[in-house]
Structure 1
Amino acid sequence: MALRVTFLGTAGAIPTTERNPSSIFVARAGDQLLFDAGEGTQRQMMRFGTGFSISNLFVTHLHGDHVLGIPGLVQTMAFNDREDPLTIHAPHGTRRQLESLVNALGNRPSFSVRINEVGDGDVAYRADEYEVRTFETDHDARSVGYALVEDDRKGRFDREHAESLGVPVGPKFSKLHRGESVELEDGTVVDPEQVVGEPRPGRSIVYTGDTRPATETIEVADEPDLLIHDATFADDRAERAGMTAHSTARQAAEIASRAGAKRLALMHLSSRYAGYTDDHLAEAREVYDGEVFLPEDGQALEIPYPDGGDVSSEADSSE
């Protein structure tokens, strides 16, 4: 089951010629999700080939560099004769502002747009085999972060052992893998525990939006495969980071280390660092041993399973 992240916009409040304001596209099988929609997001979606078939938009907060792309995106969807509804998830108390933003030009879109207000600890969206959770962040506006967390997968099916127990190749394999006991022709009962291993963890992605370092980021997911964290400033502007409710690259890396994150993406880079990111990376690597990178706009990343497992986890019953 492919899980792919595309960084559509990685800039801070002021875009640069190389970086668009914040927006992240996530595709999981047939589901397409968008996290924040800064100005020009629709163009980035065209430029990097993600398409517009998103079902859910998750907004961290209502600062312009995270939401000003919504009116244009909604209008483009309407021009494309969209009929499917769109749900926008956003912090409590922002519904009226978002409704005004969606209808900024005075014309209601041709499709349904639902606003779902969320707070700390909510499940903003529950889908088949995963959910998107919210967590508290520390910014100077009503804000939340989001964590996409997959359910545990079934344990590995030991086909060789099943056959040694006399289970015939076929539907009984699948029944065992689904957790059902099976009876053989001689009356012997084989239980799932005999041929199926322990559940295997799914994957997780944590996105903070804009925030000072926050403990809740550490607690929302167990050792996330990817942490996408505010790193607006380097150490040279650490005091300003605190004053403006942002983080430094070093602070983001400290959170990643405490969370046990496997990879760290440094986001929301201030325009003062345009063309120079060496300090961000060097300072982060001093406190974090995992893979750290500063994504470029358009960079795509495949998230593998933690155990290196393949896409399919079902017992083969086709023979």
Structure 2
Amino acid sequence: MLRVTFLGTGGSLPTPERNPSAIMVNREGELMLFDCGEGTQQQMMRAKTGMKALSSIFITHFHADHILGIPGLIQTMSFHGRTEPLKIYGPHWVHEFAKILSALGYYKLRFEIDAIDLNPGDIIKRDEYSIMALKTEHSIPSLGYALIENERIGKFNRQKAIDLGVQPGPLFSKLHRGESVEVDGKLIHSKDVVGDGRPGRKIVYTGDTRPCKAILEASKDADLLIHDSTLASDQQEWAIESMHSTAQEAAALAKEANVLRLVLTHISSRYSDDASQLFEEAKDIFEKVVVAEDMMELDIPYKDKK
């Protein structure tokens, strides 16, 4: 499973239709939260994402609409008996932020918060995937993130293995793991029965940013790009001044990067009732686009080939 749940899709201010920024990624049961605007814990309850399996929070920057949900969330998890440490990643100042979180309210957390400073280019390596911090261009220090799965083992050709004299069972597993096996004095190599490696999946989340080189490079052939699309093209000057992106700019970057799908998010409250202008402007440039809505879910399938 690789599922993305959009808990908050609004820009700067909450509206009746949109909460501030918060995106949950469920990868094989592990939960990762990217930004955590106010009200995120209630959105998690509505979406039934769960909280117990939340391993990490990734902060793009320290504007209030991206972090105000964290104090309530961590106190709720503590109240529910969490004891496992929670990792919070973000730009410089994340250590100070973690200290403030621990001191808020007359309540002692039952678990530790591990704060980890990230610089652009830093990579967090996990067993089957990694997360890269990306340089973005906003009005304060900010990061984007790319979740990149490791390459998968190629497909196992069962019939070919049998034709070579390998009987179904433990030798199949050895061959699929890349080991060679001997059958009746004949050495059979993994490459004889296992196809080329298959790509994992890639999700890129920009946070708040102008279109920029690092996001473009990280998004090459991504399965999903979630891009700041705060404004329509008639607000281009304000987008530049406030260091956000227009829907057109996000679509142009998605097209150049050859992504499979583009989701427009961080939608300004001026489009709270109708975001069709953003959608139409983006769709004129890039076909596979959707405007994020709160509670929207996307499942990311594997690509069959490179």
TM-score range, shorter chain: over 0.9
Asked whether the equivalents of residues 71 and 103 of structure 1 are also in contact (C-alpha less than 8 Å), the reply is no
Partner of 1:302: 299
Name the CA distance, whole Å, in 1 between partners of 2:221 and 2:300: 13
Counterpart mapping for 1:115-126 below 5 A: 115-123=115-123, 125-126=124-125
Partner of 2:155: 156
Name the CA distance, whole Å, in 1 between partners of 2:229 and 2:76: 31
Partner of 1:273: 271
Deviations 1:262-313 (A, max 9, x none): 0000000000111111111111112213x1001211111100001189xxxx
Partner of 1:292: 289
What RMSD in Å do the two structures reach over aligned CA positions? 1.4
Partner of 1:93: 93
Partner of 2:188: 190
Asked whether the equivalents of residues 7 and 23 of structure 1 are also in contact (C-alpha less than 8 Å), the reply is yes
Residue identity matched to 2:59? V
Residue identity matched to 2:259? A
Counterpart mapping for 1:7-156 below 5 A: 7-53=6-52, 54-105=54-105, 107-123=107-123, 125-156=124-155
Name the CA distance, whole Å, in 1 between partners of 2:102 and 2:212: 30
Name the CA distance, whole Å, in 2 between partners of 1:98 and 1:139: 22
Q: Secondary structure at the match of 1:140?
A: coil
Residue identity matched to 1:292? V
Residue identity matched to 1:268? H
Q: Secondary structure at the match of 2:36?
A: coil
1:254 lines up with 2:252 in the alignment:
yes
Asked whether the equivalents of residues 9 and 22 of structure 1 are also in contact (C-alpha less than 8 Å), the reply is yes
Q: Name the count of aligned residue pairs.
A: 305
1:179/1:221 CA distance change after superposition, 3 Å? farther
Name the CA distance, whole Å, in 2 between partners of 1:222 and 1:202: 13
Partner of 1:315: none
Q: Secondary structure at the match of 1:87?
A: strand
Partner of 2:234: 236
Name the CA distance, whole Å, in 1 between partners of 2:11 and 2:241: 15
Name the CA distance, whole Å, in 2 between partners of 1:42 and 1:299: 16
Give the unaligned 5+ runs of structure 1: 310-319
Counterpart mapping for 1:202-241 below 5 A: 202-241=200-239
Asked whether the equivalents of residues 8 and 20 of structure 2 are also in contact (C-alpha less than 8 Å), the reply is yes
Asked whether the equivalents of residues 219 and 225 of structure 2 are also in contact (C-alpha less than 8 Å), the reply is no
The alignment's TM-score, normalised by the length of structure 1, stands at 0.93
Q: Secondary structure at the match of 2:198?
A: coil
Residue identity matched to 2:129? Y
Instruction: Give, in angstroms, the shift of residue 131 of structure 1.
Output: 0.9
Asked whether the equivalents of residues 60 and 90 of structure 2 are also in contact (C-alpha less than 8 Å), the reply is yes
Residue identity matched to 2:63? H
Asked whether the equivalents of residues 32 and 56 of structure 2 are also in contact (C-alpha less than 8 Å), the reply is yes
Q: Secondary structure at the match of 1:139?
A: coil
1:98/1:238 CA distance change after superposition, 3 Å? farther
Instruction: Give, in angstroms, the shift of residue 107 of structure 1.
Output: 3.7
Asked whether the equivalents of residues 135 and 143 of structure 2 are also in contact (C-alpha less than 8 Å), the reply is yes
Q: Which moved more, 1:172-181 or 1:96-105?
A: 96-105
Identity of aligned residues (%): 49
Name the CA distance, whole Å, in 1 between partners of 2:98 and 2:19: 21
Q: Secondary structure at the match of 2:76?
A: helix
Residue identity matched to 2:289? V
1:32/1:236 CA distance change after superposition, 3 Å? same
Deviations 1:168-199 (A, max 9, x none): 11111110110000000x20000011111100
Partner of 1:176: 175
Name the CA distance, whole Å, in 2 between partners of 1:51 and 1:57: 14
Residue identity matched to 2:96? R
Asked whether the equivalents of residues 91 and 119 of structure 1 are also in contact (C-alpha less than 8 Å), the reply is yes
Name the CA distance, whole Å, in 2 between partners of 1:154 and 1:298: 34
Asked whether the equivalents of residues 94 and 116 of structure 2 are also in contact (C-alpha less than 8 Å), the reply is no
Q: Secondary structure at the match of 1:36?
A: strand
Deviations 1:97-143 (A, max 9, x none): 342134322544110101000010111x3222111111100001111
Name the CA distance, whole Å, in 2 between partners of 1:50 and 1:218: 30
Partner of 1:201: 199
Residue identity matched to 2:254? A
Name the CA distance, whole Å, in 2 between partners of 1:142 and 1:108: 30
Name the CA distance, whole Å, in 2 between partners of 1:35 and 1:120: 16
Q: Secondary structure at the match of 2:90?
A: strand
Name the CA distance, whole Å, in 1 between partners of 2:181 and 2:170: 10
